[in-house]
């Protein structure tokens, strides 16, 4: 059985983003669970704010077509979410929306097909105490609507500015255990669904 391929990305492209640091900390637990991991930066896939006129006139942005290929080839997705007013970041929503659009030149590997039937997990990070917990319920809904199977395990890391040590791992042992369990569940679900 082949190793499940898991894409990890953060919902922020900010230089010092807490969510990007936490996304990087998710890589080793997933690899330990037997997954092959692609850690992506959304800043590498820039796209204008979605507008149907833009799509009709110019089609999908090149970067979005590239991202669609990567998502299509993956078996699972782990998203680390900052919380904006209790919800998803506009960057993440815009990227998910663009990728949900069909590419007329490659209908099989674009649009809903890049999400359908794949496993997903949500993690939150915030400088506040709740760790972006409220956003996770919204992102769960959105990924589920896109046809992904979102696993029940989740982790919300509060006070995220000090949560990650110099070794790039979560400092708190109980959080590390939750992340390990989440990584194992995500890899197992991706394997069961797709490998
Ligand atoms: C528009 C906006 C709304 C925010 N709303 C929340 C919020 O609802 N809950 C929260 O914990 N932090 C909120 N924050 C603070 C972010 O958690 C903080 O800026 C965080 O560092 C952003 O994520 P990043 O470090 O991954 O870029 C908000 C920030 C912005 C810019």
Separation of 127 CA from ligand 1 center, angstroms?
8
Q: How confident is the model over 39-60, as a mean pLDDT? A: 98
Residue nearest to atom 12 of ligand 1 (CA): 83
What digits encode the pLDDT tens for the residues 120-179?
Answer: 999 999 999 999 999 999 999 999 999 999 999 999 999 999 999 999 999 999 999 999
Q: Report the nearest atom of ligand 1 relative to the CA of 10.
A: 26
What digits encode the pLDDT tens for the residues 14-34?
Answer: 999 999 999 999 999 999 999
5-194 domain in CATH 3.40.1380.10? no
Contact 134, 87 (CB under 8 A): yes
Tell me if residue 45 falls in helix, strand or coil: coil
Residue nearest to atom 17 of ligand 1 (CA): 126
**Cβ-based neighbour number of residue 66 at 10 Å:** 13
Q: What is the pLDDT of residue 116?
A: 98
Strand partners, 87: 84
Residues with a CB atom less than 6 Å from ligand 1: 12, 14, 17-19, 82-86, 125-128, 132
Q: What is the pLDDT of residue 83?
A: 98
Q: Look at residue 111 and tell me whether its pLDDT is greater than 90.
A: yes
Q: Report the nearest atom of ligand 1 relative to the CA of 19.
A: 26
Given ligand 1 and candidates 10, 42, 85, 129, which is best to mutate, with the most ligand atoms within 8 Å of its CB? 85
Strand partners, 120: 77, 150
Q: Report the nearest atom of ligand 1 relative to the CA of 16.
A: 25
* Euclidean distance between the first and the last CA atom of the chain, given in angstroms as a whole number: 6
How far, in Å, are 4, 19, 182, 186 from residue 189 at the CA level? 9, 23, 10, 5
Q: Side by side, which strands form the sheet with 36-40?
A: 36-40, 5-10, 76-81, 119-125, 149-157
What digits encode the pLDDT tens for the residues 4-16?
Answer: 999 999 999 999 9
HSE-up (13 A, CA, CB side) for residue 22: 32
Tell me if residue 110 falls in helix, strand or coil: coil
HSE-up (13 A, CA, CB side) for residue 161: 4
Phi-psi category of residue 51: left, alpha or beta, with phi > 0 → left and psi -120 to 50 → alpha: beta
What digits encode the pLDDT tens for the residues 66-105?
Answer: 999 999 999 999 999 999 999 999 999 999 999 999 999 9
Q: Look at residue 187 and tell me whether its pLDDT is greater than 90.
A: yes
**Reported confidence tier of residue 1, pLDDT bands at 50, 70, 90:** confident
Contact 148, 77 (CB under 8 A): yes
């Amino acid at each position: 059985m082949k190793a499940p391929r898991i894409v990890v990305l953060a919902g922020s492209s900010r230089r010092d983003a807490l969510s990007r640091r936490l996304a990087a900390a998710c890589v080793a637990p997933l690899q330990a669970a037997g997954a092959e991991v692609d850690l992506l930066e959304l800043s590498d896939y820039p796209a204008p704010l979605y507008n149907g006129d833009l799509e009709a006139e110019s089609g999908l942005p090149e970067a979005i077509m590239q991202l669609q290929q990567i998502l299509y080839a993956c078996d699972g997705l782990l998203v680390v979410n900052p919380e904006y007013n209790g919800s998803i970041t506009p960057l993440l929503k815009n990227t998910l929306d663009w990728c949900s659009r069909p590419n007329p030149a490659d209908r099989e590997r674009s649009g809903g097909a890049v999400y359908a039937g794949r496993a997903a997990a949500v993690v939150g990070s915030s400088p506040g105490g709740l760790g972006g917990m409220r956003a996770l319920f919204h992102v769960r809904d959105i990924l589920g609507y896109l046809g992904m199977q979102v696993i029940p395990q989740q982790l919300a890391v509060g006070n995220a500015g000090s949560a990650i040590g110099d070794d790039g791992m979560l400092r708190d042992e109980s959080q590390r255990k939750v992340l390990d369990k989440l990584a194992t569940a995500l890899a197992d679900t991706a394997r069961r669904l797709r490998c």
